[in-house]
Structure 1
Amino acid sequence: MAQKVIAVYPGTFDPMTLGHEDVVRRATQLFEQVVVAVAAGHHKKTMFSLQERIDMVREAVAPYAQVQVESFSGLLRDFVVARGGKAMVRGLRAVTDFDYEFQLAGMNRSLMPEVETVFLTPSDKYQFISSTFVREIAMLGGEVDKFVSPQVQQRLADKVRSLGRA
């Protein structure tokens, strides 16, 4: 008998891109429940606060009843185990992501042998998008409408204005 499989999709989501949204959509086709885990970002300086990032992700995943959004800090292992996760979803955009993601998957397997890492690639039109690029383009006054939802685009514009840029 098949069991209910909970998958966790962790990330900083600073900001949530159309590529992230595509990976969530793909994950919902494979798993009964998907938890998007928004990292507090203690190791990264983020443009958006944790609450702003959670709000962006919640807006993006609203169409999917089986998706929950939660924040986490500390070891991802502890978060995944506490939620009963059996799979961890990781997005791969290009070959350049693979080396890091492969090492991360190995470390996670060592920490959580009962949890499988599943790599999903976004649609071709989203494979080159990264949150870092989107932030840089927005900060320099460029158009990001091809890379993020209209809601995220507005949040980016507001943030850039509040920072006195572009």
Structure 2
Amino acid sequence: MERIGVYPGSFDPVTNGHLDIIKRASKLFDKVYVVVSLNLKKDALFTHHERVDLLKQVTSEFENVEIEFHSGLIIDYVKSKHANAIVRGIRAISDFEHEFKLFSFNNDLASEIETVILLAKPTHLFLSSSDIKELAKFSGDISKYVPEYVYAQINKKYKIV
């Protein structure tokens, strides 16, 4: 049986932490779908089309990774791909509480689908897309937190030369 994982997120923008989770998931699964999903609680810097493009650019080296957009429930997407697992990355206890709540809902809706938690590496523990956007907005150096291509696109958005 093929092992298929789905790694959902808003990825606004994709960070080196996200990229690390994608790389590690690509070694655990035969196929990984990275899914740009809507998060109605967040104001997006990039459109979902732009986020899909950013992810495609920075994951092109991974042959078993596919990038898509989905606007509905992730569990429905997971089922549509016949995936075995939802991949999630956590950095801190607050992430765990949120992910545990999502796991509870997803498990209730589809108990046959596992949730796989990958812990952030220590270098990415305090790395969040929201913090990166705020730092960039005020001309802070974000180059060590995001892939080079993403860095250039963020600078274009904020018109930083």
Of 129, 132, 143, the match for 1:134: 132
How many pairs are equivalent? Answer: 161
**Distance change (3 Å), C-alpha of 1:100 and 1:40:** closer
Of 101, 107, 118, the match for 2:99: 101
TM-score (norm 1): 0.93
Q: Does 1:158 align with 2:156?
A: yes
Q: What is aligned with 2:31? A: 33
* CA apart distance, 1:41: 3.5
Contact 1:42 1:73 survives alignment (8 Å): no
Distance of 1:51 and 1:41 partners within structure 2: 14
CA RMSD of the aligned region, Å?
Answer: 1.4
Deviations 1:21-68 (A, max 9, x none): 000011011110000011134443211011110011111111100000
Distance of 1:111 and 1:45 partners within structure 2: 28
Q: Partner of 2:28: helix, strand, or coil?
A: coil
Distance of 1:100 and 1:122 partners within structure 2: 15
Return 5+ residue gaps in structure 1 as ranges: none
Residue pairs, 1:8-157, within 5 angstroms: 8-157=6-155
Amino acid at match of 1:45: D
Contact 1:18 1:149 survives alignment (8 Å): yes
Distance of 2:134 and 2:24 partners within structure 1: 27
Return 5+ residue gaps in structure 2 as ranges: none
TM-score (norm 2): 0.96
Q: Partner of 1:29: helix, strand, or coil?
A: helix
